[in-house]
Amino acid sequence: MPTDARPSSQTAIEDALLADALLGGGLPEEAEHHLWQASQSYHFDEVAEGHLKEAEALAPDHAAVLIGFYRFYFYKGRLADALRIAKRCLAKAAVENHLPPHWRDVRPEHAEFGSFDHMLPRFFMFTLKGYAYLQMRLGNLVEGRLAVQKLLDLDPSDKIGARVLLEVVDRVELDDE
């Protein structure tokens, strides 16, 4: 049960507003156009990234823009850039979920992390999973492992599939020995 003292109707309204934002709601039409242009020009790196930057200038920190940047950098193999965006998404998810600012301080009772019916906690979980994966890919196995362990602590039923990442890091560490 969340420890938040806000009335549940206010929480539901805020959840609905962020859910809408996560799905692109509240995004200025021009920013949405730039995101679309970025997707259409994906194979032209500079053009696509330029459109993403234009969208960001119009809608700084909008979840749809951050996700657009994340996907672009991730699929282009620009993992350090994707990690930078993942950190921004984690900060946004912490604020939107009324969580402690650092993911290490988040506890299971802060939100319903094991429920896919709650978009805000799910956004936090998927973001932390992406962060963990990128840390591991960039060779930061300890940080990646800690993030995966936090995911499993927050949702022991592992609806997000974090255990697979833990198995990967276990194998990598075993191979290194």
Instruction: Output the pLDDT for position 7.
Output: 42
Question: Is residue 143 one of the residues assigned to a domain?
Answer: yes
> Each residue of 132-157: b (16+ CB within 10 Å) or e?
bbbbbbeeebeebbebbebbeebbee
In this predicted structure, what is the pLDDT of residue 5? 41
Please indicate, yes or no, if residue 77 is contained in any of the structural domains. Answer: yes
Angstrom distances, CA of residue 106 to CA of 24, 28, 29, 56, 164: 26, 32, 35, 28, 21
- Ranges of the chain whose pLDDT falls below 70: 1-25, 176-177
Residue 57 located in a structural domain: no
Asked whether residue 46 is domain-assigned, the answer is no
Is 50 inside a domain boundary? no
What pLDDT, on the 0 to 100 scale, is given for residue 24? Answer: 57
| Structural domain containing residue 166 | 8-26+62-176
**Does residue 125 lie in a domain region?**
yes
CB 65 within 8 A of CB 31: yes
Tell me the pTM. 0.83
Number of domains in the chain: 1
- Looking at residue 176, its pLDDT comes to 66
Residue 34 lies in a domain: no
Whether 54 maps to a domain, the answer reads no
